């Protein structure tokens, strides 16, 4: 019998979406909060599968799916500061919606009663469409029984957010069967969750050495290199990903079926940034525009500032202004919003001066 929920308020729900076989998740993953059989809230998961659901205010990270357009903080059972009473969540559950997958359900009845920010653990999804040539699945069945057992334990620990246990289980898996690509990748994810950067990098690198067509660890390594501003490394890693023709690759590898075209937005964004920082403006523009076309949610608002810099460098101030305005529309309250608005004013001044100069020139 679950313990009765307290009357205090929950501000955030955090968790992780993971596949049962350890393969990467698609990037159209949406997490839904369902209460009394009604979808009340939706939020997209990040590239790595993490999600955060803000119960206090309406933000662009999710939409109110009730259909009445009412912000959550204006509901009768919410607090003046925002959030939802725990007792109101006792009839709610979380699920993931992904084409080709079936989601397990996470009930919110047993929420931790001591914290307004709740980690719900992992929502595990199961593939409903069999993919021929799925390297991850093949590796699983080629692995010895003890390795599969350790891997399954790691996935279960990951599901519950027990990252130290998951790391230990995935470490045991690769010790028994060193060619288990997805186990190396999951070991990298667990290590990153534990803020063990070098261990994560080692695990991701090992996965790339086993199978150069398994893209998720390349993107993880590119993200780490991006954070470290190692632009040459970012360029090398993203070039590897982008050199693979997505449509051609889909015919021979199950991995790309876990990475729809939306996922390549991240690779193109990082590639654009690396090219720009290395002085390759034309390459930066090409990758940046491809990233912009793919990033339909969008997930990378900074991409628009990058494109604005690229256009400004080419004296295309009109395009730079458009991109800067897009960034401000997406993040009007960003920490750098005032600084960006100052830059926008400079761009508008330069654009006006340029237009006046053209009118004055009869040629």
Which has the closest alpha carbon to 54: 113, 87, 13, 109?
13
CB atoms near residue 198 (< 10 Å): 9
d(CA 258, CA 100): 10
13-37 tens-digit pLDDT: 888 898 877 766 766 688 888 887 7
* Half-sphere exposure of residue 281: CA atoms within 13 angstroms, side-chain side: 8
DSSP β-bridge partners for residue 16: 50, 122
Which residues share a beta bridge with 101?
Answer: 127
Coil, strand, or helix at residue 281? helix
Q: Where are the domains of the chain?
A: 1-129, 130-211
Note the pLDDT of residue 39.
Answer: 81
Q: What is the pLDDT of residue 265?
A: 84
The most distant pair of C-alpha atoms in the chain lies apart, rounded to whole Å, by 84
- In this prediction the pTM is 0.61
Task: Give the homologous superfamily in CATH for domain 1-129.
Answer: Immunoglobulins (2.60.40.10)
E-strand ranges in 37-91 read 38-44, 50-54, 62-64, 84-85
Look up the CATH superfamily of 130-211.
Answer: Tetratricopeptide repeat domain (1.25.40.10)
Output the CA–CA distances (angstroms, integers) from residue 247 to 68, 215, 244, 259, in the order listed: 41, 14, 9, 11
Handedness of CA 111, 53, 78, 103 (dihedral sign): negative
pLDDT above 70 (res 359):
no
Find which of 58-67, 83-92, 280-289, 352-361 is predicted with most confidence, using mean pLDDT. Answer: 280-289
Is residue 264 pLDDT above 90, yes or no?
Answer: no
């Amino acid at each position: 019998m679950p313990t009765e929920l307290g009357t205090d308020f929950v501000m955030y729900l955090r968790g992780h979406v993971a596949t049962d076989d350890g393969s990467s998740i698609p990037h159209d993953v949406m997490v839904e909060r369902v209460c009394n059989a009604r979808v009340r809230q939706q939020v997209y998961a990040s590239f790595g599968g993490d999600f955060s659901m803000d119960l206090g205010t309406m933000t662009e990270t999710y939409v109110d799916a009730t259909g009445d357009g009412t912000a959550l903080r204006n509901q009768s059972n919410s607090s003046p500061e925002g959030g939802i009473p725990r007792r109101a969540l006792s009839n709610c559950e979380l699920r993931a919606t992904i084409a080709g997958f079936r989601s397990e359900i996470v009930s919110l009845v047993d929420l931790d009663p001591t914290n307004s920010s709740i980690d719900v653990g992992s929502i595990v999804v199961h593939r409903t469409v069999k993919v021929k040539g799925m390297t991850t699945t093949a590796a699983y069945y080629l692995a010895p029984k003890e390795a599969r057992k350790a891997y399954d334990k790691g996935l279960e620990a990951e599901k519950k957010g027990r990252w130290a246990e998951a790391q230990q289980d995935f470490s045991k898996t690769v010790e028994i069967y060193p060619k288990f690509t997805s186990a190396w990748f999951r070991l990298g994810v667990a290590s990153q969750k534990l803020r063990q950067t070098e261990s994560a990098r080692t695990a991701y690198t090992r996965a790339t050495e086993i199978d150069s067509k398994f893209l998720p660890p390349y993107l993880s390594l590119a993200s780490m290199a991006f954070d470290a501003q190692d632009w040459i490394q970012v360029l090398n890693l993203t070039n590897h990903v982008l050199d693979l023709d997505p449509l051609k690759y889909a015919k021979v590898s199950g991995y790309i079926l876990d990475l729809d075209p939306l996922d390549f937005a991240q690779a193109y964004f990082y590639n654009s940034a690396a090219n720009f920082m290395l002085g390759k403006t034309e390459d930066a523009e090409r990758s940046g525009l491809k990233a912009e076309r793919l990033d339909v949610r969008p997930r990378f608002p900074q991409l628009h500032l990058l494109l604005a810099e690229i256009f400004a460098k080419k004296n295309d101030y009109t395009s730079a202004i458009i991109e800067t305005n897009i960034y401000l529309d997406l993040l009007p309250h960003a920490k750098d919003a005032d600084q960006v608005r100052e830059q926008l004013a400079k761009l508008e001044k330069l654009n006006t001066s340029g237009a006046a100069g053209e009118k004055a020139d009869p040629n």
